[in-house]
Amino acid sequence: MSATEREINRVSDLLNQTSQMKIPYEKGKRYLFIGCGSSYNLGYTVSSVLNRHRIPSFVRSAGSVLATNNLPDLNPETDVAVLISRTGESTETVLVLDRLRKSGVYTIGVTCQKDSSIVKNSDRAFLFDFAYEESVVMTGSFAAILDALLGPFQPVNLSERAIAVLEASKRVIARLDLKRLNHFVFLGYDALLGLSKEGALKLQEMALESVDYNEPLEYRHGPKSTLTASSLVLVQSQGTDYENALVHELKGYGAEVIVVGKEGDIVVGSSNSDELPLRILPVLWLGYQKAISKGLNPDQPKNLSKTVVI
């Protein structure tokens, strides 16, 4: 079994641990999330949830901050920067951390790597060393860190549900002719757009595939012209009538469609929880299985390493 497969299959165990490890948010504070790649997508997703709950939040890629100084005006008295790096050593994130600390902004580091630069140089660090991954591609640790970062807005232990959602994902994806599919589209709104962005990244990293991500109804405005019978659309649905109508339309073009949601092909979400960390499981399994169907080694993705050092 590959490291990637093991790390996807252990998500239930990780979520059992993060259920007791929630990051707190203070009233009167603003939160700035910084990261690269999957870590940026984590920040995007969490920032959307915080704003929905009226906690002011921003998200920036570390690269955009370095290249263009793309930061909101920050107040050291009220602003908190949350810097996410699985390895704790991504060059862009480490450099932005140094810049923020020099400006007096309180910094929180989030990483899986003990003794890393993020741990050593942040004012406070949340260490997910139990979610450390051998694989290059971020998989199970994404779900674990997301669960913790959602803090009080994800109060439910999702460990048992993770088993059911992963098994459902395996059944649905096993029915697909993956060798025939060569175009993968991920759709969702708000926090689910962050997960859709992550879905596109997983198919690029693991399976070297052509991908799109977008808001569901925006997909009608041009991008749908690229759909073929070899396209797969994964909709991170909120179950609205508009989204359901779009699903029907996309199927009419001959595309394969998987709906993830409370009434989806893969059921995620309940009255007690949006279960956002579980919505990444179908995506992880899809990327892994597509890579295997092409004879690729998902543990050694092309041109990639665990840490981007520049």
Segment 30-83, tens digit of pLDDT: 999 999 999 999 999 999 999 999 999 999 999 999 999 989 899 999 999 999
Residue 75 sits in a domain whose CATH number is 3.40.50.10490
- Residue 206 has, within 13 A of its CA and on its CB side, a CA count of 29
* Residue 305 pLDDT greater than 80, yes or no: no
Is residue 247 domain-resident?
yes
pLDDT at 309: 57
Q: Containing H/E element for 111?
A: strand 106-111
Residue with tokens 């008295």: 77
* CA pair distance 43, 45, nearest whole angstrom: 5
Q: What is the DSSP string of 119-176?
A: HHHSSEEEE-GGG--SSSS--HHHHHHHHHHTGGG--S--HHHHHHHHHHHHHHHHTS
What mean pLDDT is reported for the chain? 94
Q: What is the pLDDT of residues 197-255, one digit of tens each?
A: 999 999 999 999 999 999 999 999 999 999 999 999 999 999 999 999 999 999 999 99
pLDDT of res. 306: 52
Per-residue pLDDT at 178: 97
End-to-end CA distance of the chain: 32
Are 285 and 224 found together in one domain?
Answer: yes
Coil, helix or strand at residue 228: coil
The reply to whether 168 falls in a domain is yes
> What local confidence, expressed as pLDDT, does residue 111 receive?
97
- Domain assignment present for residue 52? The answer is yes
| Residue 10: inside a domain | no
Q: Is residue 192 part of a domain?
A: yes
Please state, in angstroms and as integers, the Cα–Cα distance from residue 217 to each residue in 49, 72, 112, 116, 246, following that order.
Answer: 20, 29, 36, 42, 7
Query: Residue 307 above 80 pLDDT?
Result: no
pLDDT of residue 70: 87
pTM above 0.85, yes or no: yes
Instruction: Judge contact between 198 and 41, C-beta under 8 A.
Output: yes
Total domains, the chain: 2
Tell me if 29 sits within 8 A of 80, measured CB to CB.
yes
Q: What is the pLDDT of residues 204-213, one digit of tens each?
A: 999 999 999 9
**The domain containing residue 273 runs over which residues?**
159-293
User: In Å, how far are 31, 80, 103, 128, 230 from 277, measured between CA atoms?
Assistant: 20, 23, 33, 15, 28
